[in-house]
Amino acid sequence: MFYTLDNYYGVKFYNDTREALKNNQIKFKEFIEIKSPYNWYIKLDDNLKPIMVNYDEKQKYRFLVQKVKALRSNEEYLLQRREDDAGTNIKKYIFNDAFRDSEEYGIFFHIKSKDELLKISKEFPGKIYYLGKYYDNKYRVCICNNIMIKNYINPGQILLEKTPEMKEPGKFEAEFNYRVLKLNDYIVKYTETIYAINGSLVRPKVFDTENKKIFI
């Protein structure tokens, strides 16, 4: 379930609540609404509710995308919520390297294996970002910002291509979550993304070893 406190409390209270969840070792995920009023949401396990505070809730909502996760302690500070971070200002919270590169054009596609990704990257002249396994491992999802990638993959591998209607920050990702993942899963983003280039896989120097979703 997704919960927002924004209709009742300010940004400082949100940040304090977030720290309290961490201090009490409660697992949670942060999401941001990509359209007005750009509320922030906390996703908790279904058996948990923030009953000590006022809140609004949603079970599924197509205009939410997950906030970028920090890989380093200094990035936690940079990604901390601040006042007046709405509209296009949400980009610093929802865009990582892969989505910044795909701001003008992007295409989601899926691969069968690491070997397939490396084989494609050996011939394709550019970066191919690997976003992880989704929808009960049905899709191993990649994203690329070069339309020429369509010459190196089969049409059936294409999951979603960016159109002019998806230019607003977060819309491309939200549409993928809605159309492809059916809101049963959501793209996970870190400050750095695994990518393939020239037949090699490049991983961030700091890596979340606990999240099996992003393993390839």
pLDDT tens per residue across span 188-201: 999 999 999 999 99
Q: Which residues contact 128 (CB under 8 A, 6 or more apart)?
A: 117, 120, 121, 142, 143, 144, 149, 195, 196, 197
pLDDT at 115: 95
> Would you say 198 and 119 are in contact if contact means Cβ atoms under 8 Å apart?
no
Residue pair 18/3 in contact (Cβ under 8 Å)? The answer is: no
The pLDDT confidence band at residue 74, using thresholds 50, 70 and 90, is confident
- 142-172 residues labelled b (16+ CB within 10 A) or e (exposed): bbbbbeebeebbeeebebbebeeebeebbbb
Average pLDDT over residues 52-75: 93
Beta bridge partners, 134, equal: 139
Predicted pLDDT of residue 28 = 95
pLDDT of 140 above 80:
yes
Binned at pLDDT 50, 70 and 90, residue 213 comes out as low
pLDDT of residue 84: 74
- Tens digits of residue pLDDT in 144-182: 999 999 999 999 999 999 999 999 999 999 999 999 999
Which residue type occupies 48?
L
- Give me 75's structure tokens: 């990035």
Q: Is the confidence at residue 211, as pLDDT, over 90?
A: no
As a whole-number percent, the residues of the chain with pLDDT over 70 amount to 95
Q: Calculate mean pLDDT across residues 24-40.
A: 94
Which pLDDT score is estimated for 13?
95
Task: Compute the distance between CA of residue 48 and CA of residue 96 in angstroms, rounded to an integer.
Answer: 29
208, pLDDT greater than 70:
no
| 91-110 per-position pLDDT tens digit | 999 999 999 999 999 999 99
pLDDT tops 90 at residue 3: yes
Percent of the chain as helix, strand, coil, to the nearest 5: 30, 20, 50
Among the ranges given (47-51, 137-141, 183-187), the one the predictor scored with the smallest mean pLDDT? 47-51
Question: Token pair for residue 61?
Answer: 């909502």
User: How much is the pLDDT for 18?
Assistant: 94
With CA atoms as reference, report the closest residue to 56 among 38, 36, 42: 42
